[in-house]
Structure 1
């Protein structure tokens, strides 16, 4: 027989000259391998690809996807519930899934092992709902971020509906905001023509609808009705209640609204037309006649016109206020009865169009002369300028609800005497002076991502340039190139990313006022190098030509000390 004897004895103590290991009671060393997780998942993915130790096969349509339950359950709350609760699938080796795209599922299983996935136009519409089902929120967020980057007037309504269907609240909010900001372009798309009545009513009822004039809202409504006139003509009264007819020009009411058969057919709309005409013909009664249809909508990126802002046919001329000011308009949500005008210099003032009074608002954090000002949504942006010592790249924005200024991301270049404007929800800064030379560079700011991006430079260096937007393009008008005042004008097309020269103005102008009205670009006043101007001219993009119009009664420009 075989007998085994096992004795336990303490480990030998190192002899003199040997290695002494037990010289510190409780001493330990911590080891942390940063590559352990990565290498382990790489190995598990290779095993999955070779079908080694796989304990689950996912069936979707005609596709089979092999995987490891522990990996899927650790990455997806959906699979965690399936494989760890007392569900029948927890004991099965084959599971059939429904209502999920097979290619998307395969990509998401691979993502569970690799933490990598590519989101693009070809897969986002199947990947997002699949990620939502499996509760892979990181992939879901990546899909939303991609869709947000793809927003344009032709697809924003579809993306908004897609976000609503899949409960992507942040994307839904951003897409809806985009629709409101770009309503004029959106209203001309096929997506808009196919909207149901309720969604059209919701859009045209919004105070935040960004339109240069109420005529655009009226035209969009008629276009929507005429897209299916037999099925939609009965909706005209409901639609016209949301169009702010009192804000239409009187001649437009008579020539376009009153003569429209779709309007004249409904007695309810005739009553609305009478209400609008009363608002025009009896200005002393406007306080009594005021209602939701007389409230101006938000006006985005209005530009100064010779020291004045033109917004909803309101003309306000600013006398000298003890310093240089740039004026632009911004709808205050805290003042739903109308818009406000802002005078931006060191101290800041707001003009309330309802009370016909100026009042002080919060001062900027930095004093700025020769600053560019524009409005996006419900925020007013002060861009660059000169603080008395140096030209600035800094930017800050004003929130009229909280009466506070907040710093924004600085431009890539210092700029004073620059031109700014808003196009498709982006803030453009062009030309100016950096403290050493006149600039021809330009850049744009995306408030959704808080980033500035350079765009191609203009062909001409311009400071004291004025910038406006018309028909989806950016116009840089006149200015000063450090040797002469300019009559040249350039147009930037964001689609082609190219500046193009257009017809020269009739006069050289720097520090002029520019504005767009009824598809024409107006330029008023300015300096031609020898005198201050009161002349006004307008540009017709269809004919690429300028023509003079009636001059102002007063010569106007924004004088600046030597720089």
Structure 2
């Protein structure tokens, strides 16, 4: 119960912020209403009422006197709300940190709504990641059905939403609409656009979706389903090569492939079975090579350049079709290169930097690091030059995110480690240097989760075990949990809402584990052991076979 002295003190405090403070002794509830002009300013606030238990405000008063407060599972949420409302920002932040440490699949949806309402950025990001990772569980809760429409759309549309069956996304959207049908039926077309309708089994699409009364009754919804049916037919006729948004698999519907061999000369492609925790040989590479680059576009793996011997640098491009399990050749690159990077952007393949034909008196002497960047159009089977790098690099980590290419570090023209981030904008056809690296980097790996680029490994004692994330929006770096072992020349890829890293070595020690990073826990763990006879030299994520 709130004593009279504290009531008077708190009332005075509330009036300072233009708030009305009313205490009910019978229920031990306090109503805080912000409805008066603040500090004499001529602007009125929309009345908002917030109710708290007196015990919560007692804790805030104790904190005001002593600068101490005990946060526990019973009071953390109420303290966060009251602290934010009454401008105890340090209390709000401390409660958010406590809730971050106690985040769990059973409470992540509630924490998402709480953190969104009170601008707790870190708690929101962690809750969001956990919601994506645990969608099959959270979509069955009452809280899910009460989500605001805009937040639901963002969740269902997300590339990293973890679900093996797109039917679950469709049914969740329909359940949300039916929860308040009168008010929500108008949102059905927007929700249907978040569902990969063409990835639903054909029978389910025809017998369940196309006959759903809510869909039949709305012209826009029916139009979306009809288009998905046409897209499904094209998928079945064209072996899955369709670029429509309704047919694009989520990242959890991707397959992971390793390229490697018993030496650094790569001669085989392997499938990584994440569930069975196995690495399964799939196909021999037609032309064994080393220091090549590999990248996936849709259901295909593109292997570019590399060296087949100490003297031979290749322009060749080999393509592995994961649907038909066969290799074919694409048009050769314009420049023979090795030690380069590659990434997919807008359904095109880009190769960045590297070295070209060996020079000098020794057969192994490479050229200076290249500035040249090439773009490959798989539909036209044609290569073209685009704007060159600001600084030539080899052995850089290259990825794409937010419709841009990023190249991290690498070996410069002067054979130094380049401590820069280079960024290519295809709409302007130019490279910029938006940021520096936390340290000089080369022989690193990079992979993308959402808007964040994770960079790990390297060729120094410190960088080999470190990992960072880079925001593609703010260009800011954040240190994350160290990898489990020192890794130089490791390979990384994202799948679902997690990162996977494999291979690499440091000194004479080879790293023999396939490790997984969970961003919600900021922790790495080993998934399986790589066979001793396999040295991974590339790691890619492709679309899985599309369901019939």
TM-score, length-scaled by structure 2: 0.56
Q: How far did residue 474 of structure 1 move?
A: 4.5
The answer (yes or no) to whether the contact 2:455–2:467 under 8 Å persists in 1 is: yes
Change in CA separation of 1:214 and 1:101 when aligned onto 2, cut-off 3 Å:
closer
Q: How far did residue 370 of structure 1 move?
A: 0.8
Matched, 1:101 2:67: no
Matched, 1:274 2:222: no
Change in CA separation of 1:481 and 1:438 when aligned onto 2, cut-off 3 Å:
farther
Matched, 1:467 2:492: yes
For residues 67 and 177 of structure 1, the distance between their equivalents in structure 2, rounded to whole angstroms, comes to 39
The answer (yes or no) to whether the contact 2:254–2:495 under 8 Å persists in 1 is: no
Matched, 1:134 2:134: no
Matched, 1:372 2:390: no
Change in CA separation of 1:300 and 1:262 when aligned onto 2, cut-off 3 Å:
closer
**Unmatched runs of 5 consecutive residues or more in structure 2:** 21-33, 41-48, 217-221, 260-292, 305-316, 318-332, 354-370
Q: Any residues of structure 2 matched to 1:500-515 within 5 Å, and which?
A: 500=526, 502-505=528-531, 507-515=533-541
Q: Any residues of structure 2 matched to 1:200-215 within 5 Å, and which?
A: 203=152, 209-211=158-160
1:441 alignment partner in structure 2? 465
**Superposed CA offset, 1:73-131 (max 9, x none):** 6974537979988xxxxxxxxxxx97123233234335555677677765442123323
1:326 alignment partner in structure 2? 341
1:382 alignment partner in structure 2? 407
Q: How far did residue 433 of structure 1 move?
A: 1.7
Change in CA separation of 1:441 and 1:427 when aligned onto 2, cut-off 3 Å:
same
* SS across alignment from 2:492: strand
* SS across alignment from 1:100: strand
The answer (yes or no) to whether the contact 1:383–1:396 under 8 Å persists in 2 is: yes
Q: Any residues of structure 2 matched to 1:54-453 within 5 Å, and which?
A: 65=6, 68=9, 72=13, 76-78=17-19, 99-112=51-64, 123-136=75-88, 140=92, 155-164=107-116, 166=117, 168=118, 170-171=119-120, 175=124, 179=128, 184-190=132-138, 193-194=141-142, 195-196=144-145, 203=152, 209-211=158-160, 217-222=166-171, 240=192, 242-246=194-198, 248=199, 253-254=201-202, 257-258=204-205, 261=208, 268=222, 271-280=226-235, 293=246, 307-313=293-299, 318=304, 319=317, 320-322=333-335, 323=337, 324-329=339-344, 339=347, 341-345=349-353, 346-348=371-373, 366-375=391-400, 380-388=405-413, 389-392=415-418, 394-395=420-421, 405=432, 407-408=434-435, 410-411=437-438, 414-422=440-448, 427-434=453-460, 440-445=464-469, 447=471, 450-453=477-480
TM-score, length-scaled by structure 1: 0.55
The answer (yes or no) to whether the contact 1:421–1:429 under 8 Å persists in 2 is: yes
For residues 450 and 155 of structure 1, the distance between their equivalents in structure 2, rounded to whole angstroms, comes to 29
* SS across alignment from 2:537: coil
Task: Report the more deviating stretch, 340-349 or 76-85.
Answer: 76-85
For residues 304 and 483 of structure 1, the distance between their equivalents in structure 2, rounded to whole angstroms, comes to 26
**Unmatched runs of 5 consecutive residues or more in structure 1:** 1-58, 86-96, 331-337, 520-563
The answer (yes or no) to whether the contact 1:438–1:462 under 8 Å persists in 2 is: no
For residues 119 and 406 of structure 1, the distance between their equivalents in structure 2, rounded to whole angstroms, comes to 44
Higher RCO (C-alpha under 8 Å, 6+ residues apart): 2
Q: CA RMSD in A?
A: 5.6
Change in CA separation of 1:129 and 1:328 when aligned onto 2, cut-off 3 Å:
same
1:455 alignment partner in structure 2? 482
